[in-house]
A and B are shown apart, each in its own frame.
Chain A
Amino acid sequence: MKGRLVIVAAALGSLAVAGCSSSGNNSSSSASAGSGSTSSASTKACTTSIGFEGPITGPVASLGDEQLHFAELAVSMDNAANHTKISLVQGDTQLQPAQAVTVTQQFTSNAGIVGVVGPAGSQEVEAVGSLMARAGMAFISGSATAVALTSGSYSTFFRVVSKDSVQGPQDANYIINNLHPKALMIVDDQEAYSTGLVSAMLPIFQAAGIKVDHESVSQKVTDFSSLVAKITPAESVVVLPWQIAANAQQFGRDIAQEHKSAVIFGTDGLFDPGTFTINGSYVSSFGPDITAIPADASIAQAAQAKYGSFGTFGPPVFAATHVIDEAIASVCKAGQTPSRSNVLAAIKQTNESTSILGQPISFDSHGDLVNGKFFLFKINSTGKYQLIPS
């Protein structure tokens, strides 16, 4: 009996130690790559951890994988440039708010984590915002664009992408002024990201006198034939504020199969040149195509060599990770030990004159990117995305 008690006590002890030291897979970065980082801190003991929250598995794991790869790349390059020893603790949210809460609880109870990159989805930010704020943990999303996130409820939240109140009206006005539909169909995918964008677009379409058929399908649906059959000849545009490019591709194929002529207009969640290639479709994006930005050539090449092709979900996460890395480096440079409070304070002071996204990064008092914008692309007959000049 005594022996059993000793074993149980030892097991509990080891679990407690494991729980305190880590809450996920640690991917320590190797200082191998260089980058154009600005600061060079005297960071002899600048060792700390940041968390990564993203959908590493689940239905949008392809996006989460890309985000994780770019977070790892940023940490690796920044460690090399700043002589820091920042490690990345992975947390898989599966784009599920409940899972994001679990991961966040693990991160906030791990005293070694001083900031978090992510989560990816607006609905996840809504779920974890209060927890992060209570823990004083800064978290920066590279893809959450819902307007309400920066209404002041989540004091430690930042994002390096523009919000839907920029994207929704920008896209809606482009459709009205350039595609001139008399009627259109708009289909949300029943997630906060999608319904938020629809809410931002609908009043603009209605004010322009466009007849709108508002539909709704789950992200898990892959058969759109019945919905496509419903598109009337007058509905010359179908707006898809979705996050799964393969679904939009299938929607486009169903349009062709049923001999309809509607043009698809996708939002940033569909920016995936490897998957969504329907000729004549439009896609907006919170990030530019970094392969077309000369200053990003080294990062794009490093990412391509290490992880293969990528879309627009990775680079903003690189930018978000870089902001936290630089904040940590600046804290160390000031002779302090990185903590949640001083890293948060440093992030608030972020003022990057340029970034991987081709635009400066600084935050307003609500955590929003200052002067953020969206980019619009048209897909040609070879499936290539061509930037439409603004």
Chain B
Amino acid sequence: MAFFFQELVNGVTTGALYALIALGFSMVYGVLKLLNFAHGDLYMVGAYIGFFVIQFFGGAAHVSIPVPLLLVIMFVLAAGLVGGLGVAIERFAYRPLRNAPRIAPLITAIGISFFLENSALLLFGAQYRIYNTSEFISFSSGIRIGSVSIDSVQIMVLVLGAALMIGLRMLVNRTKLGKQMRAVAGDREAAEMLGINVNFIIAATFFLGSALAGVAGVMAGLLFNQVTNTIGFIAGLKAFTAAVVGGIGSLPGAMLGGLLIGIAESFVTGYISSTFTNLIVFGLLIAVMLVRPSGLLGRVQLQKV
């Protein structure tokens, strides 16, 4: 039973990361119907920002400020800067193509992904940057119940991830900005006719989605200890899958999809074999899509003919 709970904790933690990235993916798709393949690379940029904040304050072994303050700075800076980067990408790469055929922004998104990946290579080099989280956050500061270990970084990821998801849901459902986002997602032209500043709403959506990716990047750095310019690819792929399985455009769906993939990976690795993890997990996802093509919580798109 302890093994079951250990795998569950591991799966939920990884799933929370996937969910955070998938949320941004789904938000952008919701308002623009754009598959933003550069989203995983924004996560990579966030992870680098977290790393350089640690270095700025003396490095992992000699942090010169209280650790909680360091973490706040890491998360806030990553969210702000990556959010700003997302807005810039939208403004200069996607907005000019807003009325172009849908394939054009898709290709642009792939181009932006390569641009970010290779820019990071040029700026930061090819070597792995190591967070060394254990130097400033001790494993022993976590919880141990029997043989189940939940370290403090996992707890932080789970708590912060849940808080961000709840906060985003409240923002979308209970604020004026959220209402405007939903209006733009529903019908952009109608929203514009009603006086909504569509450009601002799209930029705000990009900011929020990218900021979540930035936060997820810092979380991944703290959890997995390493950053390199290519980490965004696989994370982006998993997040895209999570968003599609949950129902692309649906925020609860993105959260559910991310958690399901994380937990499924963990249990397949633990109970069957890591050799077959992707085979079985993606096999299950194909089965889900066959049964519910619009995703678990996605809505069937009706087309008037």
Question: Contact between B7 and A216 (Cβ–Cβ < 8 Å)?
Answer: no
Partner of B274, one of A57, A227, A275: A227
Question: Contact between B128 and A62 (Cβ–Cβ < 8 Å)?
Answer: yes
Q: Which of A46-65 contact B (CB under 8 A)?
A: 56-59, 61-62, 64-65
Given the complex of chains A and B, what is the CA–CA distance between A218 and B281 in angstroms?
14
Question: Contact between B149 and A257 (Cβ–Cβ < 8 Å)?
Answer: yes
Partner of A258, one of B6, B134, B277: B6
Question: Contact between A216 and B275 (Cβ–Cβ < 8 Å)?
Answer: yes
Partner of B265, one of A56, A226, A258: A226
Question: Contact between A226 and B126 (Cβ–Cβ < 8 Å)?
Answer: no
Question: Contact between A62 and B127 (Cβ–Cβ < 8 Å)?
Answer: yes
Minimum C-beta distance from A56 to chain B (A) = 8
Partner of B126, one of A65, A227, A247: A65
Partner of B128, one of A217, A218, A246: A246
The contact string, 1 if C-beta is below 8 Å from chain A, for chain B 6-18, is 1100110110000
Given the complex of chains A and B, what is the CA–CA distance between A65 and B228 in angstroms?
14
Question: Contact between A57 and B273 (Cβ–Cβ < 8 Å)?
Answer: no
Question: Contact between B270 and A230 (Cβ–Cβ < 8 Å)?
Answer: yes
Minimum C-beta distance from B232 to chain A (A) = 11
Q: A187 near B: Cβ within 8 Å?
A: yes
Total CB contacts across the A-B interface at under 8 A: 97
With a cutoff of 8 Å between Cβ atoms, the chain A residues found around residue B127 in the complex are 61-62, 65, 275
Interface size grouping (class) on chain A: 35 or more
Q: A364 near B: Cβ within 8 Å?
A: no
Interface-side segment among B74-82, B105-113, B219-227: B219-227
Minimum C-beta distance from A225 to chain B (A) = 4
Partner of A222, one of B3, B231, B265, B275: B231
Question: Contact between A215 and B223 (Cβ–Cβ < 8 Å)?
Answer: no
Q: Which of B208-226 contact A (CB under 8 A)?
A: 220, 223-226
Q: With A215-B273, A216-B275, A259-B149 in contact, do A225 and B128 touch (Cβ < 8 Å)?
A: no
Q: B278 near A: Cβ within 8 Å?
A: yes
Given the complex of chains A and B, what is the CA–CA distance between A270 and B97 in angstroms?
45
Question: Contact between A257 and B11 (Cβ–Cβ < 8 Å)?
Answer: no
Residue in chain B with minimal CB distance to A245? B128
Question: Contact between A229 and B130 (Cβ–Cβ < 8 Å)?
Answer: no
Question: Contact between B10 and A229 (Cβ–Cβ < 8 Å)?
Answer: yes
With a cutoff of 8 Å between Cβ atoms, the chain B residues found around residue A214 in the complex are 275
Minimum C-beta distance from B55 to chain A (A) = 15
Partner of B130, one of A216, A217, A225, A275: A275
Q: A250 near B: Cβ within 8 Å?
A: yes
Q: With A59-B228, A62-B127, A223-B224 in contact, do A257 and B151 touch (Cβ < 8 Å)?
A: yes
Question: Contact between B130 and A220 (Cβ–Cβ < 8 Å)?
Answer: no
Q: Which of A127-150 contact B (CB under 8 A)?
A: none
Partner of B13, one of A59, A225, A230, A245: A225
Residue in chain A with minimal CB distance to B121? A57
Question: Contact between B139 and A257 (Cβ–Cβ < 8 Å)?
Answer: yes
Given the complex of chains A and B, what is the CA–CA distance between A250 and B128 in angstroms?
12
Q: With A57-B121, A61-B121 in contact, do A216 and B226 touch (Cβ < 8 Å)?
A: no
Residue in chain B with minimal CB distance to A190? B275
Q: A249 near B: Cβ within 8 Å?
A: yes
Q: A253 near B: Cβ within 8 Å?
A: yes
Q: A11 near B: Cβ within 8 Å?
A: no
Minimum C-beta distance from A316 to chain B (A) = 19
Given the complex of chains A and B, what is the CA–CA distance between A132 and B275 in angstroms?
33
Q: Report how many residues on chain B are interfacial, defined by Cβ distance under 8 Å.
A: 42
Question: Contact between A226 and B7 (Cβ–Cβ < 8 Å)?
Answer: yes
Q: B233 near A: Cβ within 8 Å?
A: yes
Question: Contact between B126 and A62 (Cβ–Cβ < 8 Å)?
Answer: yes
With a cutoff of 8 Å between Cβ atoms, the chain B residues found around residue A275 in the complex are 127-128, 130
Q: A297 near B: Cβ within 8 Å?
A: no
Q: A256 near B: Cβ within 8 Å?
A: yes
Residue in chain A with minimal CB distance to B223? A223
With a cutoff of 8 Å between Cβ atoms, the chain B residues found around residue A218 in the complex are 278
Given the complex of chains A and B, what is the CA–CA distance between A355 and B270 in angstroms?
47
Question: Contact between A58 and B7 (Cβ–Cβ < 8 Å)?
Answer: no
Given the complex of chains A and B, what is the CA–CA distance between A103 and B151 in angstroms?
46
Question: Contact between A222 and B270 (Cβ–Cβ < 8 Å)?
Answer: no
Given the complex of chains A and B, what is the CA–CA distance between A368 and B162 in angstroms?
56
The contact string, 1 if C-beta is below 8 Å from chain A, for chain B 104-144, is 00000000000000100100011110100110000100101
Question: Contact between B275 and A225 (Cβ–Cβ < 8 Å)?
Answer: no
Residue in chain B with minimal CB distance to A57? B121
Partner of A229, one of B6, B231, B275: B6
Minimum C-beta distance from A314 to chain B (A) = 13
Minimum C-beta distance from A379 to chain B (A) = 15
The contact string, 1 if C-beta is below 8 Å from chain A, for chain B 251-291, is 00000000000000111011001110110000000000000
Question: Contact between B134 and A256 (Cβ–Cβ < 8 Å)?
Answer: yes
Minimum C-beta distance from B43 to chain A (A) = 12
Minimum C-beta distance from A175 to chain B (A) = 21
Question: Contact between B266 and A57 (Cβ–Cβ < 8 Å)?
Answer: no
The contact string, 1 if C-beta is below 8 Å from chain B, for chain A 234-261, is 0000000000111101100100111100
Point out which of A56, A59, A62, A65 has the most chain B C-beta atoms below 10 A from its C-beta.
A59
Q: Which of A33-81 contact B (CB under 8 A)?
A: 56-59, 61-62, 64-65
Question: Contact between B13 and A57 (Cβ–Cβ < 8 Å)?
Answer: no
Minimum C-beta distance from B138 to chain A (A) = 10
Partner of B266, one of A58, A226, A258: A226
> Which are the 4 A-B pairs with shortest beta-carbon distances?
A61-B126, A246-B128, A216-B275, A225-B10
Pairs across A and B, CB under 8 Å, 16 listed: A56-B126, A59-B228, A62-B125, A62-B127, A64-B126, A217-B274, A222-B226, A222-B231, A226-B10, A229-B6, A244-B128, A245-B128, A246-B130, A249-B225, A256-B139, A258-B149
- 5 new A-B contacts at CB < 8 Å, known A65-B126, A217-B277, A222-B220: A65-B125, A220-B230, A222-B224, A226-B269, A257-B139
Which residues of A does B touch, CB under 8 Å? 56-59, 61-62, 64-65, 187, 214-218, 220-223, 225-227, 229-230, 244-247, 249-250, 253, 256-259, 275
Which residues of B does A touch, CB under 8 Å? 3, 6-7, 10-11, 13-14, 118, 121, 125-128, 130, 133-134, 139, 142, 144, 147, 149, 151, 220, 223-226, 228, 230-231, 233-234, 265-267, 269-270, 273-275, 277-278
